[in-house]
Every structure is written in C-alpha cells, then in structure tokens.
Structure 1
C-alpha cells in the first residue's frame, strides 16, 4: 500500500514537471494554457487526501481559484486573437492576462486563497506550491507584461507580504506571506532581466527548501511549538540562519539577489521604489526575528516523556546547507570584487 502511494505521488510529480516544460516551451498561447491546465489537474491529486479534511478542503479551494484564473487566461487569449488591436485594447488584454497569471501564482491583490490553502497542506506540498508552481506563470508573465501595472503590483506584493505576516501564529501562514513578499522582489527581477529572476528564484527555492525540510523533520506547524519542544541548539542556529537569510540580512546568502536588484534600481534612478523595498524587508525581518526570539529565549518545562530525539541524516544535510548559506554571501563578495 505504501509503495502504491509513493508511486502515485512520483507519477503526479513527473506530470507537474513536464506540464511546466510544456507551458514555458510552447510557441502558442493555447499551448501555454494547456500546460497550465495539466499542471492544475496533476497537483490536485497530490494535495488531496481522503483521510484529512483540511487537505480535501485545500484541494477544492485550489481547484476553484485556479479554474477561475484559467478561464480568465483563456478569455484574454481569445480577445488577443480576435479583437482589433489598438493601444487601449492592448492595455486591457495585457492587464487581464497578467491578472490571471498573478492569480495563478498567488500574488496580490488575488492572494487571499494562498495562505488559506497553504494552511491545509503538508510541508512538502507547501514547498511545491511556493516554488515550482510559480515557474510557469512567472515565465508566461515575462512573455507579455504591462510594465506600469506590474510595477504597482510588485510594490503591493512587498507591502501585503510584510504586513500580512503580523499576528500570525501558524508557521505555514508566515511562510505564505513571506512568499508573497518575495514574489514582489521576483517580479521586479523579472522586469529587469530573466537571468536575474532565475538567480533570485533559485536562491529563494534553496532557502525555502531548507526551512520546509527543517519544519517537516521536526513536525512543527505553529509558533508555540518552537519553544514547547526540547529542540537541539544546532537546529535552532540553522533556523536562525535561514530566517535571517530569507529576510535578506547581510552577510547571509539571501541578501545577495536583493542586493543585485537594489543595484539595478539605483542605477535606473528608482530611489523611491528601492527605499520602499528595503523598508518592507525590515518589517519581514521583524517577524522572522520574533520566531527566532521565541525559539531561543522561551522554554517550557522539560518533562522526561516530552522530548524529541532527531537522529536523521536528512537533518544533518539541512544543517550543512544552512552553514553553506551563511558563507555564501561572503564568498560571493570575494567573487565580485
């Protein structure tokens, strides 16, 4: 039975991988839409579970929101094919197409489904939704974008992602709002160049993978679990390094792509936008530090029957990657200068 489940999971992951390739390599908008639909239909069986009501609810919500986004995307494709082209209609079509793609990736102002669905998923599915599921919409967004609309959206993403993380006790929701915040940075990287977006996305995926791996190995979902459990000190150090790196604090690895984006913005005289981005990063760092603070300084009574002993090679590998993340920015500065 376990083998059957794992083989099914691998099969759907395989389809998700190839549906993304279909979307980004298609030479027609209809082919891109078909790739997105295959991706949607293969991700739903991965997240749904008959034994867990939260998973079933999350899969239903995901299906409804993604279906609405797909209908809007298909409608914008039809409008692009059959309507007369002028400046006004081009703007309308590009905004409609961009909106449907933004809804697919969970961007503001269409982000309301994103934290609710992530709350009902396992850490592995959260990782897929926060990383791989954003690739197709982001690259399709690069093919046909409205610059003024996306500049407004990226600032809104950074703002909502920073403010939304306050007063959250669920780590999955905190990671969801962190993903929305980083989505603003990714859209700005996409508007600069596709290579810069790829660098940012790969480093972000690396950091998110470490965080989700840590929380999965310790079975932690809420903020109060960070100090209820007798967690090893090295694990707490790893959590601290990765949260500070995810927030973009130097000299950690997560600062490197943000530093590149800020440099491009300043060279193009976008001082106000770069200042706004930096201020919102400081707010996200504040609620990351709150998690670290609760992990390091608060301790409950340590009962003999309430301990966890993690003897996992996977966790040792995660710790190794965490320290690589710490050294990454220092090595990159030597490389560039």
Structure 2
C-alpha cells in the first residue's frame, strides 16, 4: 500500500471515531462506526502476510453483523415505550458492542485476527478501534445482574484463555479481553472514568507492541533470544508486569481506581472474581518475563549490531514508575 493511501485510511479511521464521539443521535453514531470499519479494513490487508485475506474477511463479517444488530435494535426502540422493554433493548445494543469489541461470548474471532496481523495493526485493533464501541456502550450500559454476569465471564475467559498460548499476539489478545472487563466494570460506576483507564492501557500497549516489533518477537520462546542489553531487559520486564497490573507500576493505577469504586458500592463478589483473574493473568506475564530474566541469554549474529534503546528505557521508566508515584502522591 502506498504511503498516501495509508495516510488517507488512517485519517479516515481517526475522523470516523471522532464522528462517533461527537454525534448527537444514534444514526450518526452508526454511520461513524461503518466508516470506521471500511477505513480500517484496507490497513489490515497491507503487507505480505499470507493470512491477511482470511483475517480481513473475518473482521468484516463480525463487524457487519454487530452493526446490523445495532441499527435494527435502534429502529425498533423508537416504537417501544415501556421501561421493561427499553431495558432489554439497551442490553441488546450492549451485546452488539460486545461483539464489535470481541468480548465473550463473541470473543473467538479477536485472538485469531490478532494472530494474523502485524504489531502495528494489533496496537490499533486493541486500542483505537475500541474507543467508538466503548463510547456507544457507555450510553446504554446499566448496573444490573446481567451486566455483572457478563463482566465476570469476560474477566475469567480473558485470564484463562491466555495461559496455554504460545503466540505473543494471541496472549495480548486475551489480555485485551481481560482489560475490557475492567473497563466495562468501571463504566457501570462512572460514565467518564473509563476513558482514563483506556488512555493508560493504550500507553502500556504501545510500549509492548513497539518492543515486540523492534525485536520481531512473535512467539513466547523467542523471548529467550530477546536481547543481551540490561536496559532492554529491564524495560521489557517492567512493561510486561505493568500490563498485568502489578503494584506499584502504571497498570495498577486504573485497577486500583476500579477496585476502590466497586468496594465502596459493596459489590464484593464481583471484585473477588476480578482480582483472582488478575492473578491468573500475572501467571502468563511472569512466564513471558522469565524467558527474559531467568534464562541464560544466547548471543545471536543479529544482536551484535543492536544498540540499547535508551529513549525507550527512559520513556518506560517515566510511565511505569515516576508517573504512578506522582499519581499516588496526588490522590493519597
């Protein structure tokens, strides 16, 4: 794909998401979601990946089905006036957005598509492409037993799904599903704070995808030949632990914010399930970092010309250590 075409589709992807965020009616939101879908698909099909056609078609079918359910439900809701049926309508629209986001029980496509894309597209699919559906979901979501059941199922599937995976992109896909459950839980308590969680998650995801792309890591066994440089190893280990929400790193801040709000509302059972799932996710993050930290590093030919990425090390230290410390001093 030419650079001009790539810039055009990336610009349209950004503009379509902004269109959804600034829309005043549901029809404009639906149009923005469709433009976002049609502008993201050409970016997925770039490169020499032999599985790009399969991943593109899978993504198109899932997103089209979710958009069809959304627009049909919105049109039907105009003729429904009773509050009980409106609650059912809201749940159907929330489930259509769950299909767009790749949340259980509609999650099987998400790790598969992540595994068929490069790290740049994995980053966009895990962060920017989730903003518009999450915003639509925040307008319809309710704090009821059905939503709490969905959140509990999502966090457990996101935690257990990545335990036996060997593909790094699949692991990050299941990690994204687990983080979506925390975002959804925070969304039921506050209509704005989930944006803070999404921003912090996007920062962590950017660092991980950048480092994986820099060293061309696709599978977990490649972590043992990651790098011989101390700064690179420290950067990777702290970033991975931050993704798992290990205190006092950056990833713990949004989870602490969600836990404090949930405990104040006396929803202890849901919080216990969320914390247990976070411990499970830390198990496969520890498996990833142990390949970097605990094994003897073998020096490969391509490592001789590698230089330690000092700028990435400084950026990682600021985001994962200094920034959380300042936030903790501010709030506590």
Range class of TM-score, shorter chain: over 0.9
Shift of 1:18: 0.6
Question: Which residue of 1 is the match for residue 114 of structure 2?
Answer: 118
- 1:139 to 1:221, Cα distance in 2 relative to 1, 3 A: same
Which secondary structure state, in structure 2, belongs to the residue aligned with residue 52 of structure 1? Answer: coil
Shift of 1:277: 1.1
Residue deviations 1:198-238, cap 9 Å, x none? 11111111000000011011111111111134442211111
Shift of 1:264: 0.7
Question: Which residue of 1 is the match for residue 64 of structure 2?
Answer: 67
- 1:50 to 1:245, Cα distance in 2 relative to 1, 3 A: closer
Question: Which residue of 2 is the match for residue 12 of structure 1?
Answer: 9
Question: Which residue of 2 is the match for residue 76 of structure 1?
Answer: 73
Which secondary structure state, in structure 1, belongs to the residue aligned with residue 106 of structure 2? Answer: coil
Shift of 1:147: 2.7
Question: Which residue of 2 is the match for residue 196 of structure 1?
Answer: 193
- 1:42 to 1:308, Cα distance in 2 relative to 1, 3 A: farther
Q: Specify which of 82, 87, 91 is matched with residue 91 of structure 1.
A: 87
- 1:127 to 1:294, Cα distance in 2 relative to 1, 3 A: same
Contact in 2 for aligned 1:213/1:318 (Cα 8 Å) = no
Residue deviations 1:14-42, cap 9 Å, x none? 00011011112111111111000000000
Residue deviations 1:246-273, cap 9 Å, x none? 1111111111111111111111111222
Cα distance in structure 1, aligned partners of 2:148 and 2:305: 48
Gaps of 5+ in 2: none
The question of 1:326 aligning with 2:321 is answered yes
RMSD of equivalent CA atoms = 1.7
1:256-267 correspondence to structure 2 within 5 Å = 256-267=253-264
- 1:323 to 1:230, Cα distance in 2 relative to 1, 3 A: closer
Shift of 1:302: 3.3
Which secondary structure state, in structure 2, belongs to the residue aligned with residue 53 of structure 1? Answer: coil
The question of 1:292 aligning with 2:277 is answered no
Cα distance in structure 1, aligned partners of 2:256 and 2:38: 37
Moved more, 261-270 or 144-153: 144-153
Cα distance in structure 1, aligned partners of 2:304 and 2:75: 56
Contact in 1 for aligned 2:158/2:174 (Cα 8 Å) = yes
Cα distance in structure 2, aligned partners of 1:157 and 1:102: 10
Gaps of 5+ in 1: none
Cα distance in structure 2, aligned partners of 1:51 and 1:322: 31
The question of 1:220 aligning with 2:231 is answered no
Cα distance in structure 1, aligned partners of 2:227 and 2:180: 34
Runs of 4+ in 1 over 4 A off after TM superposition: none
- 1:132 to 1:173, Cα distance in 2 relative to 1, 3 A: same
Question: Which residue of 2 is the match for residue 210 of structure 1?
Answer: 207
Shift of 1:6: 1.8
Contact in 2 for aligned 1:171/1:223 (Cα 8 Å) = yes
Question: Which residue of 2 is the match for residue 273 of structure 1?
Answer: 270
- 1:166 to 1:200, Cα distance in 2 relative to 1, 3 A: same
Which secondary structure state, in structure 2, belongs to the residue aligned with residue 194 of structure 1? Answer: coil
Shift of 1:293: 0.7
What TM-score results when the alignment is normalised by the length of structure 2? Answer: 0.95
Cα distance in structure 2, aligned partners of 1:75 and 1:88: 18
Q: Specify which of 302, 305, 315 is matched with residue 309 of structure 1.
A: 305
Shift of 1:11: 1.1
- 1:161 to 1:308, Cα distance in 2 relative to 1, 3 A: farther
Residue deviations 1:84-140, cap 9 Å, x none? 322332132112111111111111111110000000111010000000011111111
Contact in 1 for aligned 2:228/2:299 (Cα 8 Å) = no
Contact in 2 for aligned 1:162/1:177 (Cα 8 Å) = yes
Residue deviations 1:271-301, cap 9 Å, x none? 2222221111111111100111112222464
